[in-house]
Amino acid sequence: MVASLSWMDDSLTSDEWHIVTILRDIASEDLNLAKAAITLPWLADSVTWYETQMLAGLGQIAFQDLNLANMVVTLPWVRDGVTSDDEAPILLFLSDIVSVDLQLVNEILAPAWVQGHWDRHLYSNLLISIGSIASQGTDALSQLTTQPWFADGLNEKEAVLVVTLAGVYGESSLYQDLLKAHHTQTMTVSLPLAGDVNIWVIQPDPFPPDEDLLTIIENTARIMEGFLEVPFPTTDIILLVANQSYGVGGLHAGSHMRLVRRDSYDGQEVEVEYIPHETAHYYFSANSTGPRWLTEGAAEYFQAYVNDLKGVKDLKDHRIEVSRETNSVCIDGYDEFENIRHYVYVSDYKGGCHYDMGENLLHGLFETMGDEAMRAALRDLILLELVKDAELDEHEVENRIYLTLLEHTPPEKRDKFRNLYLSLHGGPYQDPEADRADDHGDEASTASDIQVRDVVEGALDYMWDFDYFRFQAEEGPAYWINVTHDTLRSSSISVYGRDGQTEQRWMLRERGSNGPRMLWETQNSGEHYFAVQNFGGKTGQYTFTITPLVSTQDDHGDTPATATDIPVNGIVNGTIDHSGDVDVFRFHVMDGRSYGVVFTLETLEEGSLRLYSRESFYPLYLRGITRLDLTNSWWGAAASGDHYYVVAGYDGKKGAYSLVTSGGDQ
């Protein structure tokens, strides 16, 4: 029976292989159940990642209760296939309920338990939500199932409540308060493409008078459906509103949205913000539409687009603000990200630059490609369903996005499109120049061997060229890593752990003729890796040295272990006494508070000031390389603990300087 499936005729994809192994495991439990699973209509033609998730859930249920599994495989909504990504994990979540309460599963699968005819989206989200609550343990599930309104079966309104409850268990008192009391507003609207859609708004407190969130959601859904010409992806749009006092944030959970009603400065409740943004995530889901710069950037774009149509704020004015914010914070800020691809590589989406950088790119693409071409491209990206856990890896997903956009770009605009995409995004991952001759290897396995104190020459020969070097480091001394740009104008440097992997990556970036420099203290003796990297900038030559710091007579210590303790607010004087000297100052900060520093050159002609955190002496990129005094630079502490300022002379310069430190107030 397995061999007769049409997709067995050629080589197996990973999803198809997964299906075969699941069928094998089910057959080992119950051969007849395996035969019933093989005859599921949606297994006959091809296999998707969604379908592997559904079958895996059936297998998990079979391992716990064969009778239940044999009943589940006959259910109409199991046999007619997986029609959306929110249905894929239904059976996996049901298996979580089985492990906690088998009787409950039999009850909620009984037709009489569901009161009325529901859309399958709501039904699937309900089952997933109960399973999610069950995965938290018996206490979480019993708190739900002992509610009188739950025990006698669910109507549509109660099912919507359960969907929202699944996302707030364990978050302050919101779960408990919603169980006890909740207020609901609902309306059904007819959208041109999706047809009838139910809109729900739930919150633990009474709604303010004269507030109409339902209409805001309806208008957003209509605008987006008309813009994209794609039916709205769900027939139940659900919004949970939580007051600011609960301490929870806004999000889109796939099955529903959650937003915060924030208090204004005068204590009055204000309108719930970001409804268009979260509504857009029904189309641009992080689970299926692509990387976060696209899904969040698109949600930000549609927030601005809806606000423009409703007269809240002009789209052109907003675009100018986004461009300025992107440049000031993400490109010219402390991190100096070259483009989206550089940001993702360095931070793995930590911080918020994917919102601004993604939206800024989309604004540019609309202007470059034209409105109709860009709408068609976004439409195709939604329909492609770029599932991260499927056959496509991160690079392939990025390339699909690039090629989809390029395909819809009019031929006469493609050169302009390529230049814009290369500049703001960083370009497709499969760089056609990546195979050209290179002076140093592009990864740890092909690194060039060097010695500490060597003067090493190299060149970043093409865009996205990485030059890797392997060297021996000793635990104890700090190392001064100094890159000089010759014809190169921009580079990033990284230090990697002994295995060459990125979990110990420390990034530092610099533009200009001097090049980046880093004070680095290893935690282990042995083999380490260093890389000079091009993240989309110009090509050119460089030199660098890795030099251990040597203790000499000095006014301030050269390492974290010998650092001079300074107050948060005060004046510190110092002198760079010799070539290679650095002065390290330690001070204690509190999470969430702001701190400032003024770096003044006295007799020191040229110097640098760097900020490092307490965690393994990690660089935090406070800009400080200067020939002039550094004006007051403010930064916010992300964690409490010891931090460090490091002062150094540049190009062997010596002389006096001063630091004025301030801040720390709540």
User: Around Cβ 487, how many Cβ atoms within 10 Å?
Assistant: 12
Query: What pLDDT, on a 0 to 100 scale, did the predictor assign at position 641?
Result: 86
Sorted by sequence, the CB contacts under 8 Å of residue 644 that are 6+ apart come out as: 560, 563, 584, 585, 586, 587, 611, 612, 613, 614, 617
Whose tokens are 């990690």? That residue is 618
Alpha-carbon span 37 to 39, nearest angstrom: 5
Report residue 388's pLDDT band, with 50, 70 and 90 as the boundaries. Answer: low
Of residues 270 and 482, which shows the higher confidence score? 482
Query: What pLDDT, on a 0 to 100 scale, did the predictor assign at position 391?
Result: 60
User: Around Cβ 313, how many Cβ atoms within 10 Å?
Assistant: 13
Alpha-carbon span 297 to 291, nearest angstrom: 10
Alpha-carbon span 16 to 190, nearest angstrom: 39
- Which tokens in the block code for residue 231? 């039916």
Alpha-carbon span 113 to 128, nearest angstrom: 16
Closest to 535 (Cα-Cα) out of 324, 379, 335: 335
251-252, strands of its sheet edge to edge: 183-191, 195-203, 236-243, 257-261, 251-252
Query: What pLDDT, on a 0 to 100 scale, did the predictor assign at position 625?
Result: 43
Q: What are phi and psi of 554, to 5 degrees?
A: -155, 150
Alpha-carbon span 199 to 187, nearest angstrom: 5
Highest mean pLDDT out of 119-123, 429-433, 468-472, 512-516: 468-472
Query: What pLDDT, on a 0 to 100 scale, did the predictor assign at position 504?
Result: 45
pLDDT at 468 over 60: yes
- Which tokens in the block code for residue 100? 């906690």
Residue ranges of the alpha helices (H) in 135-252? 138-145, 148-151, 156-165, 174-180, 213-228
Residue ranges of the alpha helices (H) in 229-314? 275-280, 292-309
Q: What percent of the chain has pLDDT over 90?
A: 37
Compute the average pLDDT of residues 520-546. 85
User: Around Cβ 653, how many Cβ atoms within 10 Å?
Assistant: 17
Query: What pLDDT, on a 0 to 100 scale, did the predictor assign at position 271?
Result: 72
Compute the average pLDDT of residues 143-153. 87
pLDDT at 475 over 60: yes
Lowest mean pLDDT among 24-33, 59-68, 199-208, 541-550: 541-550
Closest to 600 (Cα-Cα) out of 635, 644, 633, 637: 633
Alpha-carbon span 88 to 81, nearest angstrom: 9
Query: What pLDDT, on a 0 to 100 scale, did the predictor assign at position 350?
Result: 78
Lowest mean pLDDT among 15-24, 345-354, 390-399: 390-399
Query: What pLDDT, on a 0 to 100 scale, did the predictor assign at position 214?
Result: 95
Query: What pLDDT, on a 0 to 100 scale, did the predictor assign at position 298?
Result: 96
Query: What pLDDT, on a 0 to 100 scale, did the predictor assign at position 94?
Result: 84
pLDDT at 456 over 90: yes
Report residue 502's pLDDT band, with 50, 70 and 90 as the boundaries. Answer: very low
